[in-house]
Amino acid sequence: MENRRTIKSYVLRSGRFTQKQKEAYDNYSQDFCIDYQENLLSFKETFQNENEVILDIGFGMGDSVREISQAMPDKNFIGIEVHKPGVGALAFDLKDLNIKNAKIISYDAVEVVKNMIPDSSVGGFHIFFPDPWQKKKHNKRRLLNEEFIEILAGKLKVGGYIYVATDWADYAEQVLDLLSANKKLKNSTAGFAQRAPWRPITKFEKKGLTKNHNIYDIWFTKV
Ligand SMILES: C[S@@+](CC[C@H](N)C(=O)[O-])C[C@H]1O[C@@H](n2cnc3c(N)ncnc32)[C@H](O)[C@@H]1O
């Protein structure tokens, strides 16, 4: 257990900020970022309302948070990402587009979910194109493993969902098996799901598509 937690699902790249991202990171972080803390977060205090909260884990450059938060103004979104230029990019968009229903936590999502998110409180998790760690010896770095899925399931409300999209076939099969094996979760269809019409094409999906990869959508709900 302790050993598993020291294996991270990311490598912090020496972030190449564009000037726009850096300025947004420096100037807007205080408006949109919630500091990591080992205390449970109050969604009501954070958003000043009681709307359902959706977490987007590993949002990259923030395309999905930006698009979906605008399309669903009656839900709240928390994006979690360790890559600081992506945090700057999303902070810029939230400011520029005057988006009020999205916040950012820039920290390891495993720790954030475990320590900041109350049990049975989340309406949905979006995990779009998680790093595939495709070499066999790196598979153990994959974000979605049995332990993290159990943590995610515990944080969902009944009826809440986990929505994963990936362009790596073996990761898709692995996630399908892991989610199917979790007793708190139920597949919404047999096998892979249809793409939700509101899921935007993200930067990493575009990369997969240019390599002619198939895209796999996976949707489980908490029973
Ligand atoms: C392949 S990218 C996909 C980004 C985005 N979702 C997309 O579809 O374009 C995966 C992202 O997850 C982030 N990530 C990986 N593990 C993470 C963790 N434990 N906590 C927060 N972010 C993480 C990485 O920094 C990276 O930006």
pLDDT given for residue 13 in this prediction: 78
What distance in Å separates the CA atoms of residue 41 and residue 53, rounded to the nearest whole number?
12
pLDDT, tens only, 22-49 = 999 999 999 999 999 999 999 999 999 9
* CA 214 to ligand 1 center in whole angstroms: 19
Domains of the chain by residue range: 20-222
Contact 102, 31 (CB under 8 A): no
What distance in Å separates the CA atoms of residue 191 and residue 107, rounded to the nearest whole number?
32
* CA 106 to ligand 1 center in whole angstroms: 11
pLDDT given for residue 3 in this prediction: 46
What distance in Å separates the CA atoms of residue 76 and residue 161, rounded to the nearest whole number?
15
Confidence of residue 5 (pLDDT cuts 50, 70, 90): low
CA torsion 120-221-166-56 (nearest 10°) is -30
Residues 9-16, mean pLDDT to the nearest whole number: 84
Ligand 1 atom 27 nearest Cα: 60
Residue 177 burial (10 A CB sphere; 0-12, 13-18, 19+): exposed
Residue 77 CB less than 6 A away from ligand 1: no
Confidence of residue 14 (pLDDT cuts 50, 70, 90): confident
Q: Is 14 or 61 the better-scoring residue by pLDDT?
A: 61
pLDDT, tens only, 71-99 = 999 999 999 999 999 999 999 999 999 99
Query: What is the side-by-side strand order in the sheet with 76-80?
Result: 102-105, 76-80, 53-57, 122-128, 156-166, 216-222, 185-187
Tokens of 39: 């205390």
What distance in Å separates the CA atoms of residue 172 and residue 179, rounded to the nearest whole number?
11
pLDDT given for residue 6 in this prediction: 81
Is the pLDDT at 16 greater than 70, yes or no?
yes
The reported pTM is: 0.96
Residues 6+ apart with CB under 8 A from 92: 20, 21, 23, 24, 28
Is the pLDDT at 2 greater than 70, yes or no?
no
Distances 177 to 9, 86, 181, 184, 197 between C-alpha atoms, Å: 19, 30, 6, 14, 24
pLDDT, tens only, 128-168 = 999 999 999 999 999 999 999 999 999 999 999 999 999 99
Is the pLDDT at 18 greater than 90, yes or no?
yes
* CA 27 to ligand 1 center in whole angstroms: 23
Residue 101 CB less than 6 A away from ligand 1: no
Residues 111-140, mean pLDDT to the nearest whole number: 97
Measure CA of the first residue to CA of the last residue in the chain; give whole Å. 26
Residue 83 CB less than 6 A away from ligand 1: yes
> 20-222 adopts what CATH topology?
Rossmann fold (3.40.50)
- Name the percent of the chain lying above pLDDT 90: 94
Is the pLDDT at 181 greater than 80, yes or no?
yes
pLDDT given for residue 37 in this prediction: 97
